[in-house]
């Protein structure tokens, strides 16, 4: 289980210190060019224990889905990554499911 609050808090403090607004990754990458060709070449060169997605677009979508919820305004704190459901939950919610 991964706990998010320290990481999100550290990112916010770093952004504040550098006078840089923290925005969701989906916003930061909305104009990212398609790097499929160089990404595919990198995948061919590298050895991975678990292969990342073969599509550059899918990779960005999965990274955004993982990171963005940590910085979105939530009615409750998302503080635990549940690998079984691949979702962020509150720690209390995660414990109730176990």
So what's the pLDDT on residue 2?
Answer: 40
Tell me what pLDDT residue 74 has. Answer: 61
Q: Burial letters for 56-86: b for 16+ Cβ neighbours within 10 Å, e otherwise? A: beebbeeebebbbbbbeeeeeebbbbeeeee
Domain assignment of residue 50, given as a range: 2-97
Count of structural domains, the chain = 1
What is the residue-level pLDDT of the chain in tens, covering all 98 positions? 344 566 667 777 888 888 988 888 888 888 989 999 999 999 889 888 778 899 999 999 988 888 888 777 665 667 777 778 878 877 665 456 55
pTM: 0.62
């Amino acid at each position: 289980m991964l706990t998010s609050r320290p990481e999100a808090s550290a990112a916010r403090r770093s952004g504040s210190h550098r006078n840089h607004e923290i925005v969701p990754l989906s916003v930061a990458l909305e104009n990212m060019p398609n790097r499929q060709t160089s990404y595919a070449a990198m995948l061919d060169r590298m050895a991975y224990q678990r292969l990342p997605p073969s599509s550059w677009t899918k990779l960005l979508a999965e990274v955004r889905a993982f990171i963005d919820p940590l910085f979105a305004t939530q009615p409750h704190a998302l503080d635990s990554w549940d690998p079984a459901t691949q979702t962020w939950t509150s720690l209390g919610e995660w414990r109730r499911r176990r």
